[in-house]
Structures are given as structure tokens and as C-alpha cells.
Amino acid sequence: MVYVKGGGGMPEDFLGLFRSETDIVTLQPGQVLFEKGEAGRHMYVIQSGEVQILDGNHNFESVSAGGIVGEMALISENPRSATVQAISESIVVPIDERRFSFLVQQAPFFAIRVMRVMSARLKAMNERITSLPNN
């Protein structure tokens, strides 16, 4: 399991961008935020709690407050590549494409956070693939 705590050591004020949010989703333990294969119209910032990124019974990563999920599908406009499910009671903030573009323009450290998370996840996937037998 790979754990990207808070998305790579970004400034503490990252969560401050979302502190006053009223458009939130509350998840109970075991509740699914989204399923693999669904359209990705939002990414999510984990405001509190912890979620896991799954594919079947394989847990790729656990993400806690300050982390993000769903960014790949939002950016690529491809279906979700994994399922996200709450481990504990969690509050997440949905970010649609319009707001994503605004945040990238107005808060460059937001864009850096997303790129670092995507980079870490790609690296972790590459390491998993090279550690498989016959590779």
C-alpha cells in the first residue's frame, strides 16, 4: 500500500482554500464516493476523515485530510480508474472542472499539489508493475 500523506508536503493553507465550504459530501465508513468506470465530473478534496482507493479487493492507497482523489478522471475526461470508499466518517469537497480551472489560475499551489499527487501515484503504479513476476 502506498500512502501519500496530504499530497506531498504542500503548504498548510491548502485546506484553507476549502475551510468555509458549504458544498460538501459526508461519507460514512464503508460508503462509496465513486465507482471504477463512472464518469469523472468532479475531483474531491478530503477535508476530514480517511478514504481508500480500491480496485476490486486491492487497496492502492489511503488518503486523509488534505489529500485529493478523482483528479485523473476530471483532468483526462476518461472514466474513473478506481473506486473510492470511506474508511472512517469523512467530509469531502467536490471540485468540478470550472472550479478546478479557477483554482489553477488563482492558487498555483493547488495545481502543484495536483501534479505532485498524480506524479506520486504514477510512480507507485510503475513500481508495482516492475515488481510483478516476469517484469
Neighbours of 75 (CB within 10 A): 15
3-state secondary structure of 131: coil
Mean pLDDT by 10 residues, the chain (135 residues): 40 74 94 96 95 92 93 92 96 95 90 90 83 72
Place domain 5-130 in its CATH homologous superfamily: Jelly Rolls (2.60.120.10)
- The C-alpha atoms of residue 135 and residue 130 are separated, in whole angstroms, by 5
Q: Which of 87, 81, 97, 70 is nearest to 29 (CA)?
A: 87
* Threshold 0.75, pTM exceeds: yes
β-pair partners for 53? 61, 84
